[in-house]
A and B are shown apart, each in its own frame.
Chain A
């Protein structure tokens, strides 16, 4: 392995922290979802690095699964955000104060 494992780990750690900061500080559901995806990708990166370190395929398999699960998460999350936006007209996670009264839905 040309790149040492510690470097991969450091990179993954930085990416994970970036995702976490994005998730915690943003006030927009779509950006929060993006932050979550970045955190998941950091996990996949660390797994691929570890897989190369041990020369075994377990980490690679897990990374593939994470990509699939992340796609499922985005589809559930975006569907939710679209529904929420239609009903409240806002993508702010603290919309409790601004929430419009519940409209009779179709």
Chain B
């Protein structure tokens, strides 16, 4: 077996082992933070170094190719950035910091396994590993009223979804004789008329959609976003969304471009983005607003996936990279403004441009990016996805998506208005922004605008990643 192909995952296994040890050692939250920072930086380096490796591991149930490696680099970067935000991890008790990092690491490991999985067993095991880590992570927040109810609902919904998925997988295996996703995509059309196969297919998909928070199974997401620590919400909104997109792209690309599947995805995409955008308008809590905006963005990504052409898949890959950058920038501002680890409402952003000009600028650019205003990375993402759909003749779909973009402009501008135009009630002191924070915010601003002007290198990477799928 080619162990080199497995090094990014092994790095995170080692990191998890280190934090397991640290959780039993004396309490020292600075040491935990620095260890996590070093390990996650090494993780980014290792993922970059193994970007060109291709291999089929574990009886071909685990495929390492450019597509999976690009997403692994994205996940590693997302994880590193989230760890950077954990500098002031005030929402979690200090004694529990090593466990927080441990579970965050296992969750990242699981997402990395997920983007390489091509066998139902590996998909199932990695989905479960990632969810179990998240159940406990959500509970780690301190001083949060009703957190029991949040985490119990999350656990029960997630566990029921996985039970339904297991039974669906069993029915599918019983009718198709295989668990390899490629084989199954080939055999399934001939047996889908049997009730067992059809029921199994629906149950498996429903389980996936629950886990990945795709409409109509997204209703637990806002509660979890609101109840989790700000840093963890950042992680769920960036890294785990990117992995979900990767899994959907891979599974869709495995099946031959069937019209029926495309029709289902068209409906899902329209409903997802409309529900997300309309619900986001009425939200007061910034994290809930961003949660619904994530739901809406899942709808836009689906447009690229359902086009089922190389341009659409490349667009979806690019879009997920853009989403990670933009969402992370929003959440970075949120974490800095809510220094005591509490949730903040949109109104509490008032006067941000005076309290910290650079954070306000970063927030503005990331919101422009999420709306898709040029010249930002978000505009290029939308452009790629929408042109891919138009090539396949989905004019109405793109039109509806454009209307949705206009709706989303409304609530993004409300947030901007709070940050730039509203005067705070009491004179709030300037935010303490360290040199490292400035550097991070500056880098993100340069990325958002820079890739908006010169997107070609990233588009090339996305194209070659999508090319290996076909």
Contacts and interface: CB of A to CB of B under 8 A. Distances in A.
Contacts of B178: 58
A-side interface mostly: helix
A58 B271 CA distance: 37
A84 to B, nearest CB: 5
Given A29-B152, A62-B179, A65-B121, A39 B146 contact: no
A23 B160 contact: yes
B341 to A, nearest CB: 15
B132 interface: yes
A76 B151 CA distance: 12
B149 A80 contact: no
B30 to A, nearest CB: 23
A12 B177 contact: no
A93 B125 CA distance: 27
Contact of A32 (B149, B156, B196): B156
A56 to B, nearest CB: 7
B166 interface: yes
Contact of B166 (A43, A80, A99, A102): A43
Contact of A96 (B120, B146, B162, B173): B146
B121 A93 contact: no
A96 B159 CA distance: 21
A56 B148 contact: no
Nearest to B151: A80
Contacts of A39: 160, 163-164, 166-167
B163 A40 contact: yes
Contact of B170 (A12, A76, A102): A12
B224 interface: no
Interface in A61-106: 61-62, 65-66, 69, 72-73, 76-77, 79-80, 83-84, 87-88, 93, 95-96, 99, 102, 105
A61 B121 contact: yes
Interface residues of A, number: 46
Contacts of A40: 162-163, 166
Contacts of A49: 174
Given A47-B173, A65-B125, A93-B152, A73 B179 contact: no
Contacts of B169: 43, 47, 62
B217 interface: no
A76 B132 contact: yes
Given A23-B160, A62-B173, A76 B148 contact: no
Contact of A43 (B143, B163, B177): B163
Contacts of B159: 33, 36, 73, 77
B427 interface: no
A97 to B, nearest CB: 10
Contacts of B171: 9, 46
Interface in A14-37: 16, 19, 23, 29, 32-33, 36
Contacts of B162: 40, 73
Contacts of A65: 121, 124-125
Contact of A59 (B124, B142, B160, B173): B173
Given A62-B169, A87-B148, A46 B163 contact: no
B167 A99 contact: no
Nearest to A23: B160
Nearest to B171: A46
Interface in B56-76: none
Nearest to A51: B173
B151 A16 contact: no
A83 B139 contact: yes
A23 to B, nearest CB: 6
A87 to B, nearest CB: 6
Contacts of A88: 148
Contact of B145 (A36, A47, A79, A102): A102
5 nearest A-B pairs in the assembled complex, by CB-CB distance = A43-B166, A50-B174, A46-B170, A39-B163, A43-B167
Given A76-B132, A84-B152, 18 more contacts: A19-B163, A36-B159, A36-B160, A43-B166, A43-B167, A47-B170, A58-B173, A58-B179, A62-B121, A62-B170, A65-B124, A65-B125, A73-B159, A87-B148, A99-B148, A99-B149, A102-B143, A105-B142
